[in-house]
Amino acid sequence: MSDLSLMVNGKRVSGTAEDRTLLVHFLRENLGLTGTHVGCDTSQCGACVVHVDGKAVKSCSMLAVQASGSSVVTIEGLANGADLHPVQAAFKEHHGLQCGFCTPGMIMTATDMIARHPEGLDEATVRAELEGNICRCTGYHNIVKAILAASKTMAKGVKGKAKQAA
Amino acid sequence: MYSVNYHRATSVADAAKLVKSGDAKLLSGGMTLIPAMKTRLAAPSDLVDLSRIKELQGVKVSGKTVTIGAATTHYDVANDEKLKKACPALAHMASLIGDPAVRHRGTIGGSIANNDPAADYPAALLALGATIVTNKREIGADKFFKGLFETALKDGEIITAVSFSAPAKAAYEKFRNPASRYAIVGVFVAKGKDGVSVAVTGAGDDGVFRSKEIEAALVKNFAASALDGVKVPAKNLMTDIHASAEYRANLIAVMAKRAVAAANV
Ligand SMILES: Cc1cc2nc3c(=O)[nH]c(=O)nc-3n(C[C@H](O)[C@H](O)[C@H](O)COP(=O)(O)OP(=O)(O)OC[C@H]3O[C@@H](n4cnc5c(N)ncnc54)[C@H](O)[C@@H]3O)c2cc1C
Ligand code: FES
Ligand code: FES
């Protein structure tokens, strides 16, 4: 057992967990943040993607105790009250989801991708960057459209508070 | 996953002490070890986390000499501005590993310690004639990689860095498995003051190796056309559900040609 102390979605969180507890299970079971999903055993699907210290990582492939001292952002941390984050809004607008299982991971990957490409994104880059996120429903087309649209909106300097949360 | 005790090392010396406890294993990016623990293929009693040790982080370039700390992530290697100038081929290679989330955590030290027969770094380090530095000694890449998932590392020995002299020309070409995106064949070519060296990953029965046939053709003439008609023997190449040994042999020549063309741009 270890004592953990980390920031989650801007709030200080302390707790105790077995050392073998994966970050995704700590988020879901200890903190009740069930937006982060588990879709595979092989670190390949990306349903579990969250940001740790500003970088997209697979929370199924990291121990919770490894994140102690870090700052974590999950899908629950993106919206500002009822105002969706621009990436969330674009997924809604462009029908970037069907069952929604992959969506939290897609959106966390997308916000990280947009942040790493301030020069803007093209379709080939978005598709290559989605390498680690699998969707069984949409065929990716509308996900790519949503990310391209969101990256344009965000570049236009829509400076809502939601943007800062990402 | 079986129960495990986690330790966060603060220095290499601290890690060397901690790794002596029980059946401990070093933990770097965890992109190989944690999935293996989840499926119970690995069950260490203790984990010694190297990822917060400052002295293991970062890329240094001084003159022609490049040194990369063992806990430097694939993302940091791919995006290092000094490395992009000194050896763009290696930065590009790192950008082809796995996916963005894997690159954010996976490290060069973990990759070469694991020595997966389809991993990318072993081909690069063998072709670059790199030196692997540990807390005990320095090992040439040709002595370090010893077959499938095997290296010259002793129990508890910690890789601290890799270093090499920047080549005049180099490039990496990877033919990916369409599902896993690991290399079915990956070829790293490097032309330096000691000649031409060509290392192949993903294909060898015994892990990464240098292709004598391709090197012999390129020593005379470092041009893609020099490889026209060069045959790589299928002997000692892997056959699995993804590709036969003969197909891999052909791919090695094709990837080598593309790599030489890219290196000459
Ligand atoms: C979805 C996915 C896709 C991937 N695709 C690719 C790919 O295309 N190409 C590729 O090459 N790799 C790929 N990988 C593997 C990835 O590159 C890993 O980062 C790498 O294999 C292991 O590095 P790590 O830092 O995560 O090591 P860890 O998983 O932490 O450790 C791996 C092993 O190395 C040992 N070790 C770690 N650091 C040291 C050290 N400093 N000294 C001595 N021993 C040490 C550990 O004890 C352990 O046995 C992929 C992984 C995943 C999950
Ligand atoms: S649940 Fe993490 S990658 Fe699939
Ligand atoms: S919307 Fe169903 S898995 Fe992507």
Digit-coded pLDDT (tens) for A33-90: 999 999 999 999 999 999 999 999 999 999 999 999 999 999 999 999 999 999 999 9
Ligand 1 pocket mutation pick from B4, B14, B28 by most atoms within 8 angstroms of CB: B28
Return the closest-CA partner of residue B179 out of B260, B134, B240, B221: B240
Which residue's CA is the nearest one to ligand 1's atom 44? B113
Contact A102, A46 (CB under 8 A): yes
- Please report where in the chains the tokens 């180099």 appear, as a residue: B170
CB atoms within 10 A of CB A43: 22
In a shared domain, residues B218 and B156: no
In a shared domain, residues B66 and B146: yes
DSSP one-letter string for A86-99 = HHHHHHHHTT--SS
| Residue B212 belongs to domain spanning | 169-263
Residue A164: pLDDT band by 50, 70, 90 thresholds? Answer: low
- Residue B93, token pair as written in the block: 């290679």
Q: Which chain B residues touch A26 with a CB distance below 8 Å?
A: none
Residue B54 CA to residue B74 CA, distance in Å, equals 16
B residues 149-178 lying closer than 8 A (beta carbon) to A: none
Backbone phi and psi for residue B8, each to the nearest 5 degrees, phi listed first: -100, 110
CATH code where residue B22 lies? 3.30.43.10
Angle B245-263/B212-220 helices, nearest 10 degrees? 30
Q: How far is the CA of B244 from the centre of ligand 1 (A)?
A: 26
Would the pLDDT of B219 be above 90? yes
Q: Does ligand 3 have an atom closer than 6 angstroms to the CB of A138?
A: yes
Interface contact B6-A42, CB threshold 8 A: no
Q: How far is the CA of B73 from the centre of ligand 2 (A)?
A: 19
Contact A154, A166 (CB under 8 A): no
Over the range A107-135, which residues count as b (16 or more CB within 10 Å of their CB) and which as e? bbbbbbbbebeeeebeeebbeebbbbbbb
Find, in chain A, the residue whose alpha carbon is nearest to that of B49: A66
Q: Which chain A residues touch B180 with a CB distance below 8 Å?
A: 44
Distance set, CA A153 to CA A110, A114, A128 (Å): 13, 11, 21
Q: What is the pLDDT of residue B94?
A: 98
Find, in chain A, the residue whose alpha carbon is nearest to that of B2: A20
Angle A86-93/A103-116 helices, nearest 10 degrees? 120
Q: How far is the CA of A137 from the centre of ligand 3 (A)?
A: 4
Residue ranges, CATH 1.10.150.120, chain A: 86-160
B158-198 pLDDT, tens digit per residue, is: 999 999 999 999 999 999 998 888 999 999 999 998 899 99
Residue A3 CA to residue A16 CA, distance in Å, equals 4
Q: Does ligand 2 have an atom closer than 6 angstroms to the CB of A40?
A: yes
> Which among B5, B35, B98 is the nearest to A132, CB-wise?
B98
Would the pLDDT of B115 be above 60? yes
B34-79 pLDDT, tens digit per residue, is: 999 999 999 999 999 999 999 999 999 999 999 999 999 999 999 9
Instruction: Please give the CATH topology (third level) of the domain spanning A2-77.
Output: Ubiquitin-like (UB roll) (3.10.20)
Q: What is the pLDDT of residue A163?
A: 47
Which atom of ligand 3 is least distant from the CA of A137?
2
The answer, for A125 touching chain B at a CB cutoff of 8 Å, is: no
In a shared domain, residues B158 and B190: no
Q: How far is the CA of A40 from the centre of ligand 2 (A)?
A: 5
Per the structure, how many domains does chain B have? 3
Q: How far is the CA of A45 from the centre of ligand 3 (A)?
A: 11
Count CB pairs under 8 A between chains A and B. 74
Looking at domain A86-160, its CATH architecture is Orthogonal Bundle (1.10)
Q: Does ligand 1 have an atom closer than 6 angstroms to the CB of B122?
A: no
Q: What are the residues facing A16 on neighbouring strands?
A: A3
Coil, helix or strand at residue B186 = strand
Q: Quote the ipTM score.
A: 0.94
Residue B222: pLDDT band by 50, 70, 90 thresholds? Answer: very high
pTM of the model: 0.96
In a shared domain, residues B67 and B145: yes
Residue B85: pLDDT band by 50, 70, 90 thresholds? Answer: very high
Residue B136 CA to residue B157 CA, distance in Å, equals 7
| Runs of H (alpha helix) within chain B | 12-18, 33-38, 74-78, 81-86, 88-95, 100-105, 108-114, 121-127, 141-144, 212-220, 245-263
Interface contact B101-A46, CB threshold 8 A: yes
- Please report where in the chains the tokens 């070519």 appear, as a residue: B189
> Which among A61, A116, A131 is the nearest to B34, CB-wise?
A61
| Runs of H (alpha helix) within B87-240 | 88-95, 100-105, 108-114, 121-127, 141-144, 212-220
- Residue B38, token pair as written in the block: 């989840």
Residue A133: pLDDT band by 50, 70, 90 thresholds? Answer: very high
Would the pLDDT of B247 be above 60? yes
Interface contact B101-A109, CB threshold 8 A: yes
